Copies of this chain bind each other. A is one copy, B any other.
Amino acid sequence: MAETPWLDDDEMAAWLALVGVLLRLGPALDSQAQRDAGMTHFDYQVMAMLSGAPERRLAMSELAARTNSSLSRLSHVVKKLEARGWLARSPSPTNRRVTECELTTHGYDVLVAAAPGHVSAVRQLVFDGLSPEQVRQLVAIATTVRANLDASDLRTLDG
């Protein structure tokens, strides 16, 4: 751990505010999606990523990467969504250890129906009151943090 310089005032303020967002935004999005569309925010993300892929199809591991989730988490969720008929799994024709996931027509319809409410929630919860300038700042900041997270994944923290 070596030496650990404490957080300065700005950093502490940023950290507290960020934790507040972290802890509240997830539940808030889940609650909206659950109420309006009977799905989790993560369910929505999975279907949205599929809908944007060619053929509305992706390998599980690729889908996990694009939804920022573990393969295990994805596997459980996909099983649930498959049971609802919103997507279907099938073995990849080219690599037999790969499972591909495809959004069904029904799933696509459900996604389309859920989209406006989702976008409206994101607007209300995140972008309301932010200037265009701040939105650009947010892109830069969040991108840097994501890079930090990716780097730490590899080093399992602390190196």
CA distance in complex: A139, B12 (Å): 9
Selected from B2, B18, B68, B117, the residue in CB contact (under 8 A) with A126 is B18
Contacts of A68 in B (CB 8 A): 19-20, 23-24
B141 and A125 contact, CB distance less than 8 A: no
Within the assembled complex, what's the spacing in Å between the Cα atoms of A124 and B124?
A: 30
A23, A121, A147 interface centre (most CB from chain B within 10 Å):
A23
The residue from B14, B35, B125 contacting A145, defined by CB atoms under 8 A apart: B125
At the interface with chain B, which of A77-85, A87-95, A130-138? Answer: A130-138
Question: In the complex, what's the smallest C-beta–C-beta distance from A134 to chain B, in angstroms?
Answer: 5
Number of interface residues of A (CB under 8 A): 65
Task: Contact check, A149 vs B24: say whether CB atoms are below 8 A apart.
Answer: yes
Mask, A20-39, CB within 8 Å of B = 1, is: 11111110100110010000
Interface residues of A in 10-58 (CB under 8 A from B): 10-11, 13-15, 17-26, 28, 31-32, 35, 42, 45
Asked if A69 lies at the interface with its beta carbon under 8 angstroms from chain B, I say yes
- Measured between beta carbons, the chain B residues less than 8 angstroms from A75 are none
